[in-house]
């Protein structure tokens, strides 16, 4: 599961929770209570802030993953023999370990 999937799932769960809470607070009998109106507004503000934070976190994670991939690609192009040597060493180690079984 990627960071984006996790963020989307979390956001969906949070929105369902808020929707359920708003449903409880939606009673016409509660409209006359000023505290309920204030609570509804705080709830709306909180979900807006949480949504924006989740979007920013997903964008930051995507940017960091892209930067890491670009750095790895740059290194592989700048040092191809080192990368090939490392891959050979890892392959030899895995082969050795599998042969011992």
Q: What predicted TM-score, i.e. pTM, was given to this entire model?
A: 0.53
The CA-atom distances, in angstroms, between 46 and each of 20, 27, 31, 40, 42 are 15, 21, 20, 10, 6
Q: Domain span at residue 63? A: 3-99
Residue with tokens 């997903």: 58
Q: Look at the chain and report how many structural domains it folds into.
A: 1
pLDDT (average), residues 60-80? 91
Q: Is the pLDDT of residue 31 over 80?
A: no
Q: Is the pLDDT of residue 99 over 80?
A: yes
Confidence of residue 94 (pLDDT cuts 50, 70, 90): very high
pLDDT (average), residues 13-22? 78
Q: Is the pLDDT of residue 28 over 90?
A: no
CA distance 69 to 77: 12
Top-confidence residue, 8 or 73: 73
CA distance 71 to 77: 10
């Amino acid at each position: 599961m990627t960071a984006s999937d996790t963020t989307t799932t979390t956001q969906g769960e949070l929105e369902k929770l808020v929707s359920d809470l708003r449903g409880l607070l939606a009673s016409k009998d509660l409209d006359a209570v000023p505290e309920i109106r204030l609570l509804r507004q705080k709830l709306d503000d909180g979900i807006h802030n949480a949504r924006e934070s989740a979007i920013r976190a997903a964008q930051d994670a995507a940017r960091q993953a892209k930067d890491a991939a670009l750095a790895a690609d740059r290194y592989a192009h700048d040092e191809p023999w080192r990368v090939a040597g490392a891959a050979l060493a890892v392959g030899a180690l895995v082969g050795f370990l599998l042969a011992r079984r």
